[in-house]
Amino acid sequence: MYTEQDTRPLQSLGESGGASGSGRSAPGFVDVSGVTLSYGGPGGLKAVDDLTLSVREGEFAAVVGPSGCGKSTLMKLATGLVIPQKGNIAVDGKRVTQPLSIVGMAFQNPSLLPWRTTLDNIMLPLEIVSPHRERLKAHKAEYVARAEAMLSLVGLKGFGSKFPWQLSGGMQQRANLCRALIHEPGLLMLDEPFGALDAFTREELWGVIRDLHQAKGFTVILVTHDLREAVYLADRVFVMSARPGRVLLEREVDLERPRPIELTYTAEFNAIVHELREMIAQARADTPRIGAA
């Protein structure tokens, strides 16, 4: 499902002296090694500097940090939407030099097209991404069945004929997750997908993405400001520094799966949340102020 890319071998993160200090020599499914990116060219605003991290295949990783630390920039880099001035990025062993077709993305705003039904919104990536767009006309019934199965998985069975304006915010976000996953991507990128929802709906959708990840086994990178969300969902949490962003802390979340929501009220869970909060508080203290030299 890849578009053509440069496949020259990359130095492993373990050899490059990554910020995590984990010493792993084997490459991950997503490898970001020594990446620097400035917006507006080399003399512009430096978003990330010597950013290094590795996410294993099938892992659920979360990225947290102070505002402006480069979390969203990381998403653009990992998906090939922007190319760094320095360093290497590889996904599934291939150097990233252009936008990837194996990635699904979900954002805080579902951005469902109002003139398309929920089912047609979910199937939109199939009209764009190869090889599905070439197969869609001849195998439409198969793809419709896949979309309907996805709707059932997220609790939206029977809502495929509804338009976005007929769905609640939580239901729209469920449909958004289905759209991101319909082409069976190897990598799912989530950028604050539950941030605009109320607390109860947010927790419901934590369970939805938890169960989807367990059932499908795709790799996930979640960008979030919600530390409870990060600890509840992730196998590993990366804490980024103030701008220019780099990884300050790589924290394994060694809590047994599947995780019930009641786990979020335990002392063990909250100890991890507070550890991350303290690191981010320090990173916020280091954030450059506007107008500062």
Residue 106 CA to residue 156 CA, distance in Å, equals: 17
How high is the pLDDT of residue 290?
Answer: 47
Count of domains in the chain? 1
pLDDT at position 282: 83
What value, to the nearest 5°, has the Cα angle with vertex 37 and ends 90 and 220? 40
Average pLDDT over residues 186-201: 87
b/e for 181-211, b at 16 or more Cβ within 10 A? bbbebbbbbbbbbbebbeeebbbbbbbbbbe
Greater model confidence, 62 or 126? 62
DSSP string, 6-65: -------HHHHT-TT-----S--SEEEEEEEEEETSTTSEEEEEEEEEEE-TT-EEEEE-
First to last CA, the chain: 46
pTM over 0.75: yes
- Summarised one tens digit per residue, pLDDT across range 210-223 is 998 998 899 999 99
- Average pLDDT for 136-151: 89
In this structure, is residue 122 part of a structural domain? yes
pLDDT at position 69 is 85
Domain interval for residue 129: 109-184
Are 155 and 118 contacting, i.e. CB atoms less than 8 angstroms apart?
A: no
In a domain, 114, yes or no: yes
Residues in the chain: 293
Q: Kindly state whether residue 75 falls inside one of the protein's structural domains.
A: no
- Report the percentage of the chain scoring pLDDT > 70: 88
Could you tell me the pLDDT band of residue 55, with boundaries at 50, 70 and 90? Answer: very high
| Amino acid at site 144 | V
The answer as to whether 231 is a domain residue is no
What are the start-end ranges of the E strands in 108-230? Answer: 187-191, 219-223
Contact (CB, 8 A) for 11 and 88: yes
Q: Would residue 160 count as lying in a domain? A: yes
| In-domain check, residue 59 | no
The answer to whether residue 175 is domain-embedded is: yes
Inside any domain, residue 123? yes
User: Do 60 and 235 form a contact (C-beta atoms < 8 A)?
Assistant: yes
Percent of the chain with pLDDT over 90: 50
Given a cut of 80, whether residue 21 has pLDDT beyond it is no
Instruction: State both tokens at 75.
Output: 């998403």
